[in-house]
Structure 1
């Protein structure tokens, strides 16, 4: 149900600002009004610090190799708000280690490239600095490929140019040739045309082979230090929980920083909203505090649009996410969740309609909720799927389907099968359409209740009760003839069905009369009132179209059954045909096929079930366009729960 909220005004002394924010954020009972001044607050420090923490957590996760996907972290309130300084020290330590690793890795990359380039010259035992001191000759180093080597050597021999090979690598054959200074440039141009790739050796006083050895030792030393630092990150990863706390500390501090107080010379005051059922709790908490304060509660004025606070039982509450994905109820709406949750639950189960898939959904959902312990919308959605596993199992029992196998018949158990979807699909089609009529009627009942709540009885009669009478009248008047047409010999007319038909005609007449009399109630022109009445009666076409939309329930159930049967048939054909390995392939086909069928069935059931709620059900009464009651509280995106003693 939708809980009333009260406009709240709180006045405190300026000196108590920090304590008041701490107290209000700890208990999360008041939704503080957002003002333009909130957007002018500089939160760059918090934003940057939060990004640093997230980056550090990513590095720790990479080095730990363990995901928090199935971890649950709770912390006491006192621990949450304290130790920030130590957590920032931990953050700095992680960043320093990461930065050192990145520096060493960045240093190793050019060193490795240098070794790759010069490795073939490792036999060079003299210093490049000494070679550079030669007055009359020039030493050129470089590579020549095997393909170009013959012509290159022929040219050097012809010109009487001394040369020496060292070793070879993927770059080619390393060598050095010597030329007189005055001929150096001409010779270099000629040998380049023959495929010679010159390499400039770095100048160093040590023999060149020792220079290369020093590069290798430096890389090896860096690698050992990197390995040691990586192990340090592994050790630090055990403290990742502290950084997750720090991350939420920062978010919570940012949230508090964004709160804007109006002020006088000595006082500060804020306005917001409090749930009526939590008013006494808020007053009690403030009285226990050391604050000097004044607080006032009042009902919303007509020109105010309060947030929507809802309160439902444990079964209904998770389905609020389904409604909020469409639109949050407004404060004057009737809460659709108690009714919608039951319909969503039933339709989802019928659409899946298999014991095996229902068990996977139920057990898998319970394990996910137990191990992952998600929060918010994810928790609600997974709870919806888990609960829907129950109706899927029940529907599977009624359809006698266990991963597409008629399990009761195969095991010789007593038959509880109500219908066979593949052999008698018309039965489920009629049931789906009948379910649709009831679903739409329930929406019209909520429309009627909502109109009476808003003191608009004419709308309740014209747009609500009229269509309830018409839909019930259609079912009673024409239900038996339609069933007889689909199931010949099974639904013969009798005295009772004749009475029901007359009652149905009466309902149709009452409903049509209400529309004719009230559809044009807002029109003063008599002609427009008549056209409005006729247009209202034409609405029956829209309702029939809505009812036909529920045939998708049959389509979903049938597709799940057919694909499951096809995978079982294919596996049973492959197994015997190929012997031992054939049965292995049969198992693979069975597993992959049913995983695919389960995934598609889950997605289709969710999408089409939601569509039936949003269009056919909500379309009859629901306005929405509200916004959620979201109290000022601790922001927990990394930690699962903060435990408060009071």
Structure 2
């Protein structure tokens, strides 16, 4: 339950071996291209490259053009895709083909040209015919929307002094054209409604002498002109008949051509899939080479790899080349000079909650992963607010059903459902019914959540839960700040040690005033005021400890003004945090109270079936509406009350090089 350890690797190799080495990096699927060193001195005097040093310093590019090479690979891929489209075959990345090192790019191009010369003309005709069919279907759908299909458009076209256009306008542009009727020398007629679109079909009739003016206006309205295919004439009804006949003719031609190339389809499918993988891989190699450094005869590339995969990478490259030098250094050794990527490592229980963390941001490499803490506290908060055995079971089963389509969401729902079931046993609640309705139901509290004795206990439990999780969030914040070397924020900041002391002393002051604990008010109040002073004076205190000058970087006046406002914000934040977690207990009471309302309504009717129906409707509303509200409340507590104290979310995701990554 942490972040994977990263190692920065620099590979320096012979230019002639570059494609082979880069191919091996892609096939390994375990290295991340480092793009964060363009303006960094992180590598100065670090790598001892010996004979390669002078070449790197000169940084003299070889006679090579990666852009041109990428374009050539792209052209080959386009040809492969066109051929596969005509043959009705689906191309896919095949790891077995990628692992085959016995292929030549030139031989692959020759093989592609052979297939192209053999079936290329026929495939082009098939693709062209299919394109025509697609366009005819689009035209047919639009013509079919015309209300009056008996209008002879040829007669309109034969007018001496008027011209016309048929096209589509969106509702927004229809309103605009209405506003400009007085400036429009044309007649606008709606002739059809397109059901599957926000656009309608219109006919614009205008004097031929105003053609240019009308066209300019239509362009400003995003007018989509309906272009009638050559040879299609008459009324809309007649046009539809002609279109159907033309589509049938084209389909027959496609069938004939497909039969002619069917004999070698299996062999061509195999070859095209192989070529697709080869050209895709070569294109990726060319893309990566754009991020390499070049010397007279060498190249150098910087990569991040997980520490556990380093030896595997070394072994892999050594099998294909001996003309390279590989040096490495851990992210910890490089310190703040570089920005390592982040790859989360969590167990089976917490891993699904990575989705919620990623919605906010990804932790930086030197931050603590918030996923485990979020998983535990989110489940606990949801269970406290929505504790019910039956309703929790519904969520659990819904999560099981979601696993195939949305695995992460399904896993989260299963865990939240499990937490709801657990707290359902605490409250003694089954589909809203409690122990006094179901005496056999197990319960850890007597009388249910709405019992006068239990209401204050549940509210206090919510507050104690809040104090506990906020305490852990402060610990996370202190650790993250100290890991980044930020003593000012880690020790004296509002989310550091001093901030936590202020928070605890604030809580103690409140409970002392209320009389919950017997403690002299002066003790927590003095600690509260002292911690507030330290929060205000954190910068000069830090500079005194670290023996830095000046004490105030931007002047004492501006610093104190800013710090006082920050102190006020801290006070309001502590107050807000405390109140927010009161809602946890309040939602638990609300959950029980909402079902009680439906239970009371059901007792007002005498029909047993109607009673059951009311209770079912109540449960459905609670599961959907209240369940969503509780989920959002749990999310809000994480994002605004907890993450704000220790998590920035500005990490870079570890994206291993492979043919699929762009």
Map of 1:286 onto structure 2: 317
> Which residue among 305, 318, 338 is the counterpart of 2:372?
338
Unmatched 5+ stretches in structure 2: 39-64, 101-107, 152-236, 541-550
Q: Which residue of 1 aligns with 2:29?
A: 28
Question: Is residue 436 from structure 1 mapped to residue 466 from structure 2 by the alignment?
Answer: yes
Structure 1 partner of 2:635: 610
Structure 1 residue 77 corresponds to structure 2 residue 95? yes
User: Which has the larger Rg?
Assistant: 1
Change over 3 Å in CA distance of 1:253–1:385 after alignment to 2: farther
Shift in Å, 1:520? 0.8
Name the structure 2 match of 1:71: none
* 2:435 aligned with 1:410: no
Q: Which residue of 2 aligns with 1:445?
A: 475
Q: Given that residues 383 and 420 in structure 2 are in contact (C-alpha distance below 8 angstroms), is that contact kept between their aligned partners in structure 1? A: yes
CA distance in 2, matches of 1:250, 1:555: 61
Where in structure 2 are the equivalents of 1:451-600 lying within 5 Å? Answer: 451-455=481-485, 459-463=489-493, 464-473=496-505, 479=511, 482=514, 498=518, 501=519, 506=523, 509-510=526-527, 512-517=529-534, 519-523=536-540, 524=551, 539-566=570-597, 576-577=606-607, 587=613, 594-600=619-625
Aligned to 1:311: 345
Partner of residue 635, structure 1? 660
What are the Cα deviations for residues 103-156 of structure 1, in whole angstroms up to 9, with x where unaligned? 78589899999xx869xxxxxxxxxxxxxxxxxxxxxxxxxxxxxxxxxxxxxx
Cα distance, 1:593 vs structure 2 = 5.2
Name the CA shift for 1:76/1:570 in 2 (closer, same or farther; >3 Å): farther
Kindly tell me: are residues 433 and 221 of structure 1, through their superposed partners in 2, closer, same or farther at Cα, counting changes over 3 Å? same
**CA–CA distance in structure 2, aligned partners of residues 423 and 629 of structure 1:** 52
Render the CA deviation track for 1:358-387: whole Å, top value 9, x for unaligned: 222222223322x33x5xxxx444433322
Q: Could you tell me how far 1:548 is from its partner in structure 2?
A: 0.3
Question: Secondary structure of 2:305's match?
Answer: strand
Q: Which residue of 2 aligns with 1:393?
A: 421
What's the CA shift for 1:519? 3.9
Equivalent in 619, 622, 628 of residue 647 of structure 2: 622
Is the contact made by 1:571 and 1:590 (CA closer than 8 Å) also made in structure 2? Answer: yes
Which residues in structure 2 correspond to 1:65-214 (within 5 Å)?
A: 77-78=95-96, 99=131, 102=134
The CA deviation string for residues 412-435 of structure 1, in whole angstroms up to 9 with x for no partner, is 334334673445544332222221
Distance 2:463 2:371 in 1: 22
- Aligned residue-pair number: 496
Cα deviations by residue, 1:58-101 (Å, 9 ceiling, x for unpaired): x999xxxxxxxxxxxx9962167799989x99999996895586
- In terms of mean alpha carbon deviation, does 473-482 or 358-367 score higher? 473-482
Q: Normalising by structure 2, what TM-score?
A: 0.59
**Kept after mapping to 2: 8 A contact 1:409/1:415:** no
Hey, what's the Cα distance between the residues in 1 that align with 2:273 and 2:602? 48
1:410 Cα deviation from its structure 2 partner: 1.7
Q: Secondary structure at the match of 2:349?
A: coil
Contact 2:374 2:638 in 1 (8 A): yes
How far apart in 1 are the matches of 2:366 and 2:318? Answer: 32
**Distance in 2, Cα, partners of 1:384 & 1:78:** 35
The CA deviation at 1:346 is 1.3
CA distance in 2, matches of 1:314, 1:519: 43
Distance 1:566 1:94 in 2: 67
Structure 1: gaps spanning 5 or more residues: 62-73, 119-211, 485-496, 638-646
- Alpha-carbon spacing, 1:218–1:527, altered in 2? closer, same or farther (3 Å): closer
Structure-2 separation of matches of 1:513 and 1:617:
24
CA contact (8 A) 2:12 2:301 kept: yes
Which residue of structure 1 aligns with residue 389 of structure 2?
355
Change (3 A) 1:219 1:325: closer
Distance 1:399 1:510 in 2: 39
For residues 302 and 466 of structure 1, do their structure 2 counterparts lie closer, same or farther at Cα, with a shift above 3 Å needed?
A: closer
Q: Distance in 1 between matches of 2:18 and 2:599?
A: 68
Instruction: Report SS of the residue matched to 2:398.
Output: helix
Contact 1:354–1:402 (Cα < 8 Å) also in 2: yes
Mean CA deviation greater in 351-360 or 410-419: 410-419
